[in-house]
Amino acid sequence: MHFFDRLADRIAAADSVVSVGLDPDPARLPDAVADADLPRWQFNRRIIDATHEHAACYKPNAAFYEDADGWRALRETIAYAHGKDVPVLLDAKRGDIGNTARQYATVLDDDHGPAADAITVNPFLGRDSLEPFLQRTEKGVFVLGRTSNPGGADLQDLELASGEKLYERVVHLADLWNDDGNVGLVVGATNPDELEAIRELVPDIPFLVPGVGAQGGDAEAAVEHGLADGVGLVNSSRGIIFAGEEAADRGAPEKFFEAAGRSAKQLKAQLNQYR
């Protein structure tokens, strides 16, 4: 089954477009898991248990797993999420050429263990750098289109000879690369007007919209413009997984993961107002 078909099924089953970012910062893990074997895996397991009813997808960021124990934790996390019938989007922002690109793309191969269902990629090196990902037609490939960080404007706002801004050209290219219907776009939630304008440029491509939650993105715009035929994802990471830090600080560690579940449920309800 193609990723976006599976995602559509999951969105319908969970009545949710919430993507839960699994970014287990070792410095912020609660004492309840900090001393466990593979603490990042134990943290993710409990977050998944608390949030899976409200999650359309899980989005682990590769930066939090790039060591030997981290990759073990990531494999366990992907397998566990799949056991809850929730797809996994690996936020890796890969983008390289030749053998390196082909090697990066193996993270999507099921014969290498529990594989991610989708991945984020960086288009800066052009189509050939993304071809190994695009060729895995059953997997989702989310191209960085317009990011919400302040420095994104350094390059993304540059005006080309055609009159387009660079990010608009990237958006058009993503549409051209979508021959097999497996391409999505990453578009930040902190500028609603841009989000709307990008949707007008590419009406049929699902968006992954980060920035709702701790970054203060616009939830209504994220839903109104982020979904294509009802399919798309709105991500929150820290706003969900660390929602229980205050409770843990007050000496109630069991409340840490309950708070994550409540936060995911609240975000689902907030977003569903606009679906």
Q: Do the Cβ atoms of 25 and 162 come closer than 8 Å?
A: no
Q: Is position 93 annotated as part of the catalytic site?
A: yes
- CA dist., res. 228 & res. 114, Å (int): 28
Query: What are all long-range contacts of 97-101, with beta carbons under 8 Å and residues at least 24 apart?
Result: 97/125, 97/128, 97/129, 101/128, 101/129, 101/130, 101/131, 101/132, 101/133
Catalytic one of 59, 84, 93, 165? 93
- CA dist., res. 227 & res. 189, Å (int): 12
Q: Any idea what DSSP says for residue 188?
A: -
CA distances from 160 to 122, 123, 155, 168, 169 (A): 19, 16, 11, 10, 9
205: left (phi over 0), alpha (psi -120 to 50) or beta: beta
Q: Any idea what DSSP says for residue 247?
A: H
Q: CA 9, 235, 189 angle in degrees (round to 5)?
A: 120
Hey, which residues are catalytic here?
93
